[in-house]
Structure 1
Amino acid sequence: MLPNKVLLGFIPVAFADILGVSPEKQALYTPNEQSKWHCLLDPTIELLFEQINDDFCDCPDGSDEPGTNACEFTKDLPKYFYCANEGYREAYIENFKLNDGVCDYDICCDGSDEYKSGACPNVCDQVKTQFDDFLKVKKATVEEALETKKELEHKAHKLKQQLVDNAKALEIEISRDETRLAAFKEELEQNTSAGDERDDAGTSAIDTFVLEHSRKLKGRFLQFEEYARRNNEKIRNLEAMLHNLLENYNPNFNDQAVKLAVSSFADYVSNKPEDEGVPSMNLSEFSLDQIPQICHSSETNLQNVVHESLNSFQRLYMGFRTVLGLMEPSSNENKVSAPPSEKAEQLSTEIKKLEATLQQKNSEKSIYIDGLNTDYGEGDIYRAVKGQWVHKKIGEYNYKLGFLDSLYQDNTLIGRFYGLHGNSMHFAKGSKCWNGPQRSAQVDMICAPRHELISVSEPEKCQYKFLMGSPLACKNITDEEIAAEFKVDHALLNI
């Protein structure tokens, strides 16, 4: 039987926990049988177990110094120290904050980050009390804000559905009006075609009647033209004789001029042709009494026939004036337009009304469609707050923010709504700064039961940044997310 001393030699030595390492990772710092240990990210590098936390950085990854700040903290290889914070929430602090003389109670409430000096007592019980109070208030606030957001979502959905319903109702009305319009146009075309056929029949009969009268009238006017020409010739001869008598006649003497005039007049009288007679002007030959009978027999629209007859007689009148030399022939004769029938006028009026109505309804429909296609954020929730304004005096200025509208500093325009990006509203193209750019702003929103401007800053000239509380930015939140927002009130700590 082996002595007890020998047995004890086979029992593994119990090593104390490595400072700065969490319980679940302590196993990574177990030495081998030779009491050696290798760097975590490079097993080829072996160290004596005693070299861990010796305040000298041996491993490139810094894994040999979890409890000191010997190894540099970098972005690519950050180093963190584990704080147990018993009774509260465990946490990790950057290694460069170790033993710097500052009690970082927001992270290490147990004061373990200042283990060398021991200057920071454990206040985790007090911090936990503060956190519990903060957690309770935060959850109540978020729940209230989520209820408000739910109402806004319901309102937004209702507004959107109203637009959809309005657009659908208008679509039905437009379709119905378009059908009516097509029917009216077809009826007008049929009415016009039927009227043209009836009028063509009557007009043909009237044209035949008028043509015959035109020929008769033309012949009679030609007779008058010849009669007038001959009379004019006689008058010219008499004027010539009288003119000669007037020029050469001497009342004191019975001279040759008088004899010549008398002789010429005698010849004129002796050669005077027989009275040809004036052409007959019996207008009964040209009576228009037959026109109504023609219209009746042809089932013609009398109103249209009368206008066509006016056109025919107008052409005839122009022809007579041309024959008599009173005007030059012209191809640009004005034509008397026949008015539409009463039925056609009614149809035309209805068509104009319907076309105007359709134009108005299509414009209204376009507004609805544009409203439906506009970006109102996730779930269209910004639709519920469009047009609402938030006012707040911050510092010496009064700020006014209109959702999806514009943003003012007193009466100065900071910007007009430009777009949404997550929980941020962007405003641009505001009033131009003196010797600077146009004003613009980004409004970042955090969860709150009510819309409220919280703060404003100007990182760059005339480029503003606002923080705003709003239920629009709310969502269900975990205890871990609440803890990330929590800040210890050092003034309340009893140290």
Structure 2
Amino acid sequence: MFLKVLALASLVSAETGESSKDTIGVRGVSPGNATFYIPDEDGMFACLAYPDIKISFDRVNDNYCDCPDGSDEPGTSACSNGYFYCAGSGNFLPSRYVDDGVCDYDLCCDGSDEPAGECENRCAEYEQEKENERHKFLQHLDKGRQIRHSYIHEAALRKEALRNKTTELEKEYNELTTKLKNLKVDYARIREEDSDSTADADSLQALGALRKTMNTAQKQYKKLYKELVDALDSYNKINLAMKKMVEEYNPNFNDPAVKECIKEWISIPKLPAVIDYQPFTYDENLFSKIKIMSYDTQQLNQASWFEQLQSMVSEFLGAWVPVSESSQIKNVGSVRAQAVKDVIDDSVIELKEMKKELAIAKKSLKLDSDFWGPDEVGRALEDICLTTTTSEGNDIEVCLFGQARMGNSNSVVSLGTSRGIREEKGHIVIDFVSGDPCVYGISRTLKVVFECGDVHQLNSISEVDACVYVINGTSPLGCAPVAAHELPGSDIHDEL
């Protein structure tokens, strides 16, 4: 009540244009309220919130609380509900800080809350600190806004790329659908043509064995290639080291072990072809071409096609795969129907994956600023995930536009799925809903509040209610223009 009266009194005084220069100075009274601390014609003071209660003016600041609102003791700590005005900081502070033997510079920079001479005036120093804070904040704000602007540009590029990708996927999907339709027609025709002939079960078995053998050979080839390169590199390093030892060894230095080592090395036949080897590249196309041939429907009508392929592959595989596997490859007849069927199966799988990818792309394109935030800036951070650790040692991962999780090595729970960006009181907020059940079956939820910052960072987490979590952090996402009263230092502990 007293605070409201103080505020109203200050306003009335300001409107009437009355100044403290015409009044008696009373400790702890603001210039705006000074006119209320003038004795009336009877030498009385009226309590501000209770004007019917009057006391002798000499009882103001007598260190005894007479008024229910504490207004008679603005310059002492006698009233627990009183307030002291600090001229240096221009703000009110609770009377309990007055004459408590502590220089409360963060509340009253001029030290006037203590007896004269007890605390020096540090207002200039504190004002400089506030100015430094403002300057630092503005630097972060400017840098953060520049980063945010780059995000907006990146988001526009991503959206355009996604639009182009969607168009291309639709084209490929339609082409593959047509191809699959034609393959099914070919398959039916080939099955009909072969219906009068005896099915060659060995042909189908051999084709499967061939593919299995090719996969085995490819893996062994890659592994052996890597081991060979590593071995050659190691050999050359050892060779250089031993060569240096031979050239720089001092024979006068009597070390039998070194002498024996050099002697043994010199006696080993050198491998000039290895020493001078040139690195070569693993030919992935070697296997790709063979695989493509096995699916080339244009070759199916050539009677000798499979035999030619078998001969080429068998010759290549001879040195790479076990005899037991290579012996499974034998002369076979036509495998046209099975080859087309395999291509159909692969096409169906590819079509399914393409349909899924196309659906995801279209869904992302459909989302607008209601999800991605102003200017759809969130598109630039679609894959960004942030992490932090709670005081209890639980790890938290927040994927801004995906899932939020919390847990440790023993268990992990979902805190919800992102609902996108929204604005709340000048801050950027991302809500996560429908997390794993908590007590009484309540789903966990998370609210992430971002202030302006030039880096993405999660600073603190709290559980404000059962299964309801709030994380405060910084991000360039939150760097929108701010009003002057939002700058650091603009709040000067004004209890009003």
TM-score range, shorter chain: 0.3 to 0.5
Structure of higher CA gyration radius: 1
Instruction: Give the TM-score of the pair, scaled to structure 2.
Output: 0.46
TM-score of the aligned structures, taking structure 1 as reference length: 0.46
